[in-house]
Chain A
């Protein structure tokens, strides 16, 4: 099994190399798809294995931790890997189906797999500094993906993205330095042991610094300002995978560090306030927008609030609900942006003012949009309902009535802004700019991810059980020890 875990990082890197060497686009596409599918299969194997038995620990280079670098696959990491490689595969299929993306940008496949390698490493690493390296791989690839269409407007808005990313990385590095100075290690498990002896003020300071650093990546209130400006400017597949994955890697890092290194005995009021504000401000921002991708970008922020809320309860039920919610969001958010891209492809615009009647002209897009939108709003029987119900129940049993009320209020506003897209773009008489039928492959890729999202709703109970076991691991320190499994 250690081999499979190692391959999860190695396979995307092999794909990077091959995608750069192979001369023809057709070959690059084939290799790229094959590598992505292989990662998907491997990550499902890892998930099944860790859920049935112990967490898997890999000593990289044969050096046992804390001297060497440790890769750890536990239930949480396994779930995240499985869902992220599903999204990566779906979006890659969409990009290949769309044909413009990799035609116009020869290094697309190489960069995309570099991003995938960074994401996989971020989920697997058991070492704070390697987490930094993983974030850098992921972010550097994302800088390339988001800026390659170098038009003036795009360069301007992505400058913010790059600068904010670099500042966050700098702060992260400072945080690692402080944590190392306080504990003398960068291995997460050893650090968790030693932080107990550290002065509580120092410990809290380092904890909140990490919360802020990952909060910038996850776009929580008030550190979200960079997101709605930069994400919508990229091409659809890039925006979709950023929306589905990158912020969630930030959330993953928050959950991992807050539960392992800086555990709280009871609900954290500070985190819950941040969560409530993130939900409400995000959704209010969404209501004010008139462009599909910008509306969806603000919804990314709003939904991050729900995940942080689940963490803030610091109970098994709360964390389990947050994990289910993350799994649901990765897929649904990706689908929403892909559907937004289909509307843009067919009409040439994403502005609600300039397009209407998609339902009558291309009903297939509407069929794909509806389940994803209702799922995002949290209506039964879709996947968002499973996550939100679990979150609300966890909130009630933790006695946090106010933030639960806020989250339900934000849900209603989410539904409202989904109806805004529906009424604006899908209803009404078809506009004349609806001339290009979206390609079959793009529709099929989006449809595949919609099916995955329906499957998540269908498998809600088993998923919640796995997530509960994962949450127990997180809160009890898990079964992983330094250097062994």
Chain B
């Protein structure tokens, strides 16, 4: 028998999940120069997925992910390794970092490091891993196999 989660959890999830995702994206972006980064951001996004799982079960998590969890994990590893190899392509060392200075007029000038791309990879790996764990191990009674 499937038990519906309490009203509190469902309503709470509705406001918590978007907030958590925005904060996790913020942590990811500022991570290069300030506290944060792909791993922390990924864990927070994973936490958001956990809240979704608690309020809506496997189905809610699956419908929230655009692609299978394993593919997110793989895409993350490839992004991170691509950044590492990027150093080689530009004739530098493995994992060497580059920086792009953007002058956006009114919005100020930003510097975007290739470390951000690496962090995006880490972020995806963590999110992919958390969702794989949730889908594989969470709530065994609901498993289809």
Binding site for B on A (CB under 8 A): 2-3, 6-7, 9-10, 13-14, 16-21, 58-62, 71, 106-107, 110
Contacts and interface: CB of A to CB of B under 8 A. Distances in A.
B77 A6 contact: no
Interface string B64-104: 00000011011111100110110110001111110000000
Given A7-B88, A62-B93, A20 B73 contact: yes
B70 A61 contact: no
Given A13-B77, A61-B95, 4 more contacts: A13-B81, A14-B81, A17-B74, A71-B94
Interface of B: 70-71, 73-78, 81-82, 84-85, 87-88, 92-97
B78 A10 contact: no
14 contacts: A6-B85, A6-B93, A7-B85, A10-B84, A14-B78, A14-B81, A14-B85, A16-B77, A17-B78, A20-B71, A58-B93, A60-B93, A61-B96, A71-B94
Given A10-B84, A14-B78, A20 B70 contact: yes
Nearest to B70: A20
A10 B94 contact: yes
A21 B93 contact: no
A19 B93 contact: no
B11 to A, nearest CB: 35
Given A10-B81, A14-B81, A62 B92 contact: yes
B74 A16 contact: yes
A110 B77 CA distance: 11
A106 B70 CA distance: 10
B128 to A, nearest CB: 8
Contacts of A106: 70
Contacts of B93: 2, 6, 58-62
Contact of B74 (A9, A18, A58): A18
A18 B77 CA distance: 9
A10 B85 contact: yes
Nearest to A16: B77
Given A20-B71, A21-B71, A107-B70, A58 B77 contact: no
A17 B77 contact: yes
B74 A60 contact: no
Contacts of B87: 61-62
Nearest to B79: A17
Nearest to A12: B81
Pick the most buried of B74, B84, B93, B96: most chain A CB atoms within 10 A of its CB: B93
Contacts of B81: 10, 13-14, 17
A331 to B, nearest CB: 29
A21 B81 CA distance: 14
A58 B94 contact: yes
Contacts of B84: 10
B124 to A, nearest CB: 10
Contacts of A3: 88
Contact of A62 (B75, B77, B85, B96): B96
Contacts of A107: 70
